Structure 1
């Protein structure tokens, strides 16, 4: 197994585990575990491949689906042993985000040859699985939180692209990209690292906006 395939399986497995843990928080049955694990594990990569116009990765290699299902089954029988399932979701998600940001960027670079599109593919691969998980489960989506999330995925992707184009090789570039993304996400989880947010006066209500318009008889 080469480094790229290894990263792909790491990302799928860890994201699947976060989906299964969320299913445990919602007290779903084992089929619900499998569904949410598979959706989370394959969601980002599926959208990436559809955008790139290449065969969807799990269609050509069903082992990815079996990996998600197996992860769901293991989680179903062991989730109750974890002291804080939500904390596990956050940290497994951080590892998966970093791994998938790197792999998605590499695949985007191989397919398109464009550094810009590679970074976009990395961000898409790393974040959409978690977004779909939260939407389906009715959780607050990761995109609506202030702490670094998309930024960490973008950083992992950028470092991979820069390292690869600098001739550092896939393994070294992947390691640097993963370390960068995970460091940023870890800082967000432990030290509340976040980018400055937009500050403005509250938006006008529809009634306030219409009040200033001249009436038409």
Structure 2
């Protein structure tokens, strides 16, 4: 799974979707909702387990539809799993029930954030758009997230040489762990640099940082 960009090529053939949800009934319901979409095939259904990455790779999915559930206070394990997927460069479409979930998913780097009440056509459209490299947020959630314009804006502060290295490796699709190994630094140091990069670019996620850096000519995809 590669980190999405604004120029991501749609997969040939049906879009292969992996469904992740804590509730087995939710997994079954989402699979049923997508069954009528001729260009989408559900390749698997999983819970947000600790070894989600190793399980997810076996399905060779083009996108992950991740349901955070209704209970906002029980999301820590699910958000950890979502963070692992985002770090691994997966295309993740997240379904949320409330604002706090939306903010958490957005900051982690979800490619699309949809309401849990979204109808099947909206889910399908979000999956297609995210797989094509677009960042998607349903209108009712965009105000909650206070999304900034995605037009290029001047840098708040110049990136350091090390931050440029980290940003380039993020754009290449490397995970935090892989970046740490490549540069000979700790994962915590990588996260420190990423936080600095997001702040200087005025970005709210890894994907947003890549989009903004590309528009500013800092990196080329």
- Name the one with the larger helix percent: 1
Rg: which structure is higher?
1
**Fold conserved between structures, TM > 0.5:** no
- TM-score, length basis structure 1: 0.29
- Name the one with the larger strand percent: 2
- TM-score, length basis structure 2: 0.28
